[in-house]
Amino acid sequence: MTAVRTLLARGVRDLRVRRYPVAPDARRDGRGPYPLVWTDLPGGTALDDDGVVVARGPSGERYPNPVSMCLYALGEHSRALTTPGPDPDRFGPFLTQATWLRTHQDRNGGWRYPVPVPRYGVAPGWYSGMAQGMAASTLLRAHDLTADRSFLDAADGAVDLLLLPVSRGGCADYDRQGRPFLEECPSDPPSRVLNGALFALFGLVEHQHRRGGDAHRLAADRLAADLDHFDLGWWSRYDLRWPWPASANYHALHVSLLRAAGVLTGRDVFARTAERWRRDLRDPRRHLRARLVKAARVWQHRHG
């Protein structure tokens, strides 16, 4: 009985979700604020002595985390754009992350993660499509600020690896029509993480509008075609590897990301799904149902 009460209490707490505002003036070419407004350091991260975002690994070690770095950088970039005054130092935190990405990009165009992902059975040394796409968004904006060609070259390299097939060490899982699903965590079987694919799509849209190409249209087509698989009819799924609902915070993130994707790609299916999931988000009964269903299915998986 105590366990049930604890679960219900957590379900009630889960009703209080974070807001993820969408930038009203985001542009498809990335010349301006990032589509999603991020206002602080991602959870579980900190700044090291050089001002670089680091996360804590499974053994307690700190390591530079490209996704967290980009979230912070893009949030600081948007904040600096709205800060009055001529002070160029306001872009300092943003450029610190962008410079680290440029300097530490490997010869394949990416940043390998030194930690495993037990959820998908992935060993250390993997590339993240989410990191590749978000890094492209960061590096393009760094080029805009500095006119330094090396940032643009680094963005090109990030997208090249993003679009390289998973079978060749990249982050794109192509269907028979040649449309890529941008994998946040490439794995076998595929994990298909929704928020990671959307973040990666933003960077691809911005890059292709600058540099030319149709890869962003093909990726948007693939995601639009697969969107029903993430829809439980009353809530969203985090990924397609495991059949349980997303947490309330990730469901809220899905809503905002889809809203932004609708604007950036012009595809109505993203906006329509975002609106329907937004209504689910406002229903406390569905919040609690998502929490209970997820808890039950995770328990069955671990004890089945």
Give me the pLDDT at residue 15, please. Answer: 52
pTM of the model: 0.93
Instruction: Determine phi and psi for 67, rounding to 5 degrees.
Output: -65, -50
CA distance 27 to 16: 31
Chunk the chain into consecutive blocks of 10 residues (it has 304) and report each block's average pLDDT, rounded to whole numbers: 49 67 95 94 94 94 96 96 81 97 98 97 98 98 97 98 98 98 97 98 98 96 98 97 94 98 97 97 93 87 76
Rounded to 5°, angle at Cα 183 from 38 and 232: 80
Distance CA 248, CA 254 (A): 10
Residue 72 has a pLDDT of 97
Give SS3 for 95.
helix
Query: Distance between CA 73 and CA 17 in Å, rounded?
Result: 23
pLDDT at 88: 72
Instruction: State residue 13's pLDDT score.
Output: 52
Kindly give, in sequence order, each residue whose CB lies less than 8 Å from that of residue 166, ignoring residues fewer than 6 positions away: 172, 173, 183, 186, 190
* Contacts by 259-263, CB closer than 8 A, 24 or more apart: 259/22, 260/22, 260/23, 260/26, 260/35, 260/36, 260/198, 260/202, 261/198, 261/201, 261/202, 261/220, 261/223, 263/22, 263/26, 263/35
pLDDT given for residue 300 in this prediction: 80
What pLDDT is attached to residue 4?
A: 47
Check residue 219 and give its pLDDT.
98
